[in-house]
Structure 1
Amino acid sequence: MTVAIVGAGLTGSLLACFLARRGLSVTLYEKRADPRTGEAERGRSINLAISERGLDALRRIGLDEEVMADALPMKGRMIHPVDGPLDFHSYSASQDRAINSIGRGALNNALLDAAEKAPGVSIVFEHRLVALDSQTGAMGFETPGGLVEVTADVVLGADGAGSAVREQLVGDGSVVDDVDFLDYGYKELSIPSAGGEFVLDPGALHIWPRGTSMMIALPNPDKSFTCTLFWPAGSFDALTTPALILGYFGEHYPDLLPVAPTLVDDYLNNPVGVLGTVHTHPWQAHGRTALIGDAAHAIVPFYGQGANCAFEDVVALDRCLNETSGSWARALPLFEARRRDNTEAIAEMALANFVEMRDKVASPVFRLTKQLEHAVERLLPGHYVSRYELVSFSTTPYAEVRQRVRRQHQLLGVAVALGVGAVGALVRAAVRRR
């Protein structure tokens, strides 16, 4: 059986590694040139935060230690106010759990290497999908040498939020899609190392919350930081000269200026990216053509779960193939049925986390609430677990996380009203009803 995976990014490369274990003939088609031999596109990385769901997928094929060797653990958020001292918020009640910062390009290259070594996998670059017959698996690719036509038994679109496979499926009426664009854009900036050392704490994800906007920074192995501005759409256009840029950042991000010598150049020359949530229905057609990862359900990046969710898709599809004895016609609808509620849940939580990161984390009331939540977690280990820990440090299905956290918050509110002594009994009762 031949399988074509369109898109040799993170999801496609990982998926090829999983499918290779089944003895399938897999070809990865990528529209870009080989990213391992060229320069990364300027200002388009958005560093990734790999957590338990992504690590679980990598472990299953023995890639976790190799791929994550250069990742940097971040144990919490470091809040940068306009005035006053920095404020560290631990991600976990135990204060020892961490999400892992890794560059998208470095991770993609490692997964491409692994896919290339896998038996039965081939990768072809500079192949842009321009035609697809979802019933027969016939495809047309635009290449430097002209149009190339191929056919595969199964076609899987792992080509991201702007999926060409999804576009073809929409065009032939097999699926419908809706992209809910966020009224925000993003732009990347850089903080280099100084004297060969980090200039900010590398053990934290740094956040500059500013009400309706924010900036984040994640550490890199070369001891630099990649920063990302998330500002309302159109607001980037207001700063058109070095003087305006330096003046604005001096007022709103004063501690950035001393550590970002390329700020003006980065701001003027790096592109503004768009953000949105992709909704697609269905994810598959005719039991032989399907979408996976961002191609089916892209989300905004504010929970650090985009790649983690897509990697979990790969694990879920692999399980469905196991349960259906390798029948794609049965596995693809089963995969969608099992994953849809979960991907919708994390899409909703990612949007909510944006509000938390830009508006709430700087609030003393928010900090007190988190301290109380961590105290309850320590008091009732395993019974009360915060939403962040369930999302980032477990593989509990996202839809179950959403339901459990709602019950916990409801019961905690009741417990506070009744008295602290009631907290344990109420939370344990909720857990028993799961």
Structure 2
Amino acid sequence: MEKSAEEPTKKKVVAVVGGGLVGALNACYFAKRGFEVEVFETREDIRQAKIVKGRSINLALSHRGREALKHVGMEEKITSQGIPMHARMIHSPSGKQSQIPYGKKGQYILSVDRANLNKQLLTEAETYPNTKLNFGHKLQDWSVETGLMTFVRSDGSEDQIQADLIVGCDGAFSAIRKQFMRRSRCNYSQTYIPHGYMELTMPPINGEFAMKPNYLHIWPRNTFMMIALPNLDKTFTCTLFMPFEDFEKITTGDEVVEFFQKYFSDTIPLIGLDALKRDYFRLPALPMVSIKCSPYHIGDKCVLMGDAAHAVVPFYGQGMNAGFEDCIVFDEVMDQFNEDFSAVLPEYTRVRVPDDHAIADLAMYNYIEMRAHVNSTWFLFRKHVDNFLHFLMPKTIIPLYTMVTFTRTRYHKAVERWHWQDKVINRGLLLSATGAVLGGSYLLIKNPPDINKLIIPAEKLWNRVVALRT
């Protein structure tokens, strides 16, 4: 029977598996396009939970994430509840503090609370009449061919839904991705780094922040480090990143204090001795994993986004931002191919995979930079050179961090440009140094100095050496 002109076309059903940050934002994107959206989350509704399970490293919201939030009208609401961080504040073992700005004046990243952000996004998704949130629903099985999904409710009963598109946003250990791995020509890699992380809290002092709040504080110690990000309640969340074998060496409260006195002595009075002894052993250090896979889609029925597609270690502050950018990139591809899933999904894989793999690699690299390179005179010198050249030639030389954090330059293009700039700048510095040496040599030959004025008596020289060593 032919449809009448008045009979509306049935809306396609999009099932978003995972009600975390990327899943909740995706629900807003698909609902805004008019799809029937069903969100399925294994956990209970965190907005009603007395205790939100799990821990997380503080989130740093930057340009990519802000752009994705802006598209669904959420940017201002979220940024108003964030704390701007304009620079890294480096804490030396002696307690000396020095700043390394993130970018030009006015550029900053935002410290935001994960649980609050997740709650806000779920509430926003619920404002769309074509969105339904289903909590306490664990995915049991799904069909690639038909889109039929089976969920087990928290009471043991089953729920089934037929979806036109399944969007896997269910984290690093995605149940959706398991189906991908059973199929041929699916690439997958999982790498645990030998370092774990542990969170400690630095409380307010007299109702105010214990340290300057508008910075990401870093205590770089070469093979390990600690960072601290400010929270709205005037606390700092301190995160200690260290090899598991080093965590395991510390077994008593006194050993914790001895370790902190040696490496992070300025934090002891701020965290508190008793709190430090207690909180260090409250929960074990957690692992960090980097996951890559390809493709991100199966046919026209299923696509992966966020950590389900690309879990990254947290050292570039891009995990959430990359996940949010997945949403906006998919939305742009939907515009390009008029919401034809058979064309959209392969194009999304083609465009997004190289970028997500690039940020996964950069995040690994940045851990070495944060815990070791920031102590290097050469690193600081190059930062100044890069920023100076960026000031002189803003369109030709753009620092890597600026491209990644303050633009939407594709991640893999940013890496390519970074390698090119690095070669150009290093060659320029080498030529400048060579020119200076040759020029100096020419002047010395032409006007030789009085050698007697250059000779420092041995006794004076020895005294200088002794003075430097002490």
Q: Which residue of 2 aligns with 1:6?
A: 17
Alignment of 1:137-156 (within 5 A): 137-146=147-156, 147-156=158-167
Question: Is 1:372–2:372 an aligned residue pair?
Answer: no
Deviation at 1:132, TM superposition (A): 1.7
Q: SS state of the match for residue 234, structure 1? A: helix
Distance 1:23 1:295, change over 3 A: same
Q: In 2, Cα distance between the equivalents of 1:31 and 1:275?
A: 22
Q: In 2, Cα distance between the equivalents of 1:380 and 1:68?
A: 30
- The C-alpha deviation readout for 1:99-127, integer Å capped at 9, x for no partner, is 11001111111111111112311101111
Question: Is 1:72–2:67 an aligned residue pair?
Answer: no
From 112, 118, 127, give the equivalent of 1:117.
127
Q: TM-score, normalised by structure 1?
A: 0.93
Q: Which residue of 2 aligns with 1:37?
A: 48
* Cα pair 1:192 1:224 within 8 Å, conserved: yes
From 301, 307, 318, give the equivalent of 1:288.
301
Return 5+ residue gaps in structure 1 as ranges.
423-434
Q: TM-score, normalised by structure 2?
A: 0.86
Q: Which amino acid aligns with 2:44?
A: A
From 209, 219, 222, give the equivalent of 1:211.
222
Return 5+ residue gaps in structure 2 as ranges.
1-11, 436-470
From 400, 415, 419, give the equivalent of 1:387.
400
Question: Is 1:313–2:326 an aligned residue pair?
Answer: yes
Q: Which residue of 1 aligns with 2:452?
A: none
Q: Which residue of 2 aligns with 1:277?
A: 290
From 37, 41, 56, give the equivalent of 2:67.
56
- The C-alpha deviation readout for 1:179-198, integer Å capped at 9, x for no partner, is 11111111111111111100
- The C-alpha deviation readout for 1:110-156, integer Å capped at 9, x for no partner, is 11111111231110111111212122112222222223222211111
**Structure 1 stretch displaced more, 236-245 or 28-37:** 236-245
Q: Which amino acid aligns with 1:351?
A: M
- The C-alpha deviation readout for 1:47-100, integer Å capped at 9, x for no partner, is 1101000011111111100122110110110011111411111111x2321011
Q: Which residue of 2 aligns with 1:128?
A: 138
* Cα pair 1:45 1:105 within 8 Å, conserved: no
From 109, 115, 133, give the equivalent of 1:105.
115
Deviation at 1:419, TM superposition (A): 3.5
Q: In 2, Cα distance between the equivalents of 1:124 and 1:219?
A: 33
Q: In 2, Cα distance between the equivalents of 1:272 and 1:397?
A: 33
* Cα pair 1:72 1:219 within 8 Å, conserved: yes
**Which structure has the larger Rg?**
2
Q: In 2, Cα distance between the equivalents of 1:191 and 1:84?
A: 17
Deviation at 1:40, TM superposition (A): 4.6
Q: Which residue of 2 aligns with 1:338?
A: 351
Q: In 1, Cα distance between the equivalents of 2:395 and 2:65?
A: 22
Q: SS state of the match for residue 208, structure 1? A: strand
Q: Which amino acid aligns with 1:278?
A: I
Q: In 1, Cα distance between the equivalents of 2:128 and 2:255?
A: 52
Q: SS state of the match for residue 265, structure 2? A: coil
Question: Is 1:182–2:193 an aligned residue pair?
Answer: yes
The sequence identity of aligned pairs, in percent, is 37
From 228, 232, 254, give the equivalent of 1:221.
232
Q: Which residue of 2 aligns with 1:239?
A: 250
Deviation at 1:176, TM superposition (A): 4.3
From 278, 288, 299, give the equivalent of 1:265.
278
**Structure 1 stretch displaced more, 367-376 or 108-117:** 367-376
Q: In 1, Cα distance between the equivalents of 2:245 and 2:168?
A: 32
